[in-house]
Amino acid sequence: MSLREKWTEARERDRQKRDANEARLRRLAVADELRKLGVSVRTVTGQLDPALTEEALDAMVKAEKQRRAELYETFVRAGGMTTFRALGVQILAGDDKVYTIGQHDSWAKTNASRLLGPLAGAEAEVTDATSAFSLGKAIVMPIATAPLARKETADAMITFTNGVVHTFGLDGSSALRDARKQCVQFNVLGGLSAPAMTGSGGDPAVSLRKLQELRDADLVSQEEYETKRAEVINSI
Per-residue pLDDT tens, the chain, 236 aa: give them: 777 887 888 888 898 899 888 888 888 899 888 888 888 888 878 888 888 888 999 999 999 999 999 999 999 998 888 899 999 999 988 788 999 999 999 999 999 999 999 998 899 999 988 865 454 554 545 544 444 456 788 999 999 999 999 999 999 889 999 999 999 889 888 877 665 444 445 567 777 777 777 777 676 677 777 777 777 777 66
- Those residues whose C-beta lies under 8 Å from the C-beta of residue 78, and which sit 6 or more positions away, are 92, 93, 94, 95
* Residue 141 lies inside a defined structural domain of this protein: yes
* Residue 14 lies inside a defined structural domain of this protein: no
* Residue 164 lies inside a defined structural domain of this protein: yes
Range of the domain at 219: 123-234
The count of domains in the chain is 1
* Residue 215 lies inside a defined structural domain of this protein: yes
Return d(Cα 60, Cα 135) in angstroms, integer. Answer: 43
The long-range contacts involving 47-56, CB below 8 angstroms and separated by at least 24 positions, are: 52/27, 54/23, 54/26, 54/27, 54/30
* Residue 96 lies inside a defined structural domain of this protein: no
* Residue 101 lies inside a defined structural domain of this protein: no
Angle at CA of residue 138, ends 132 and 141, nearest 5° = 135
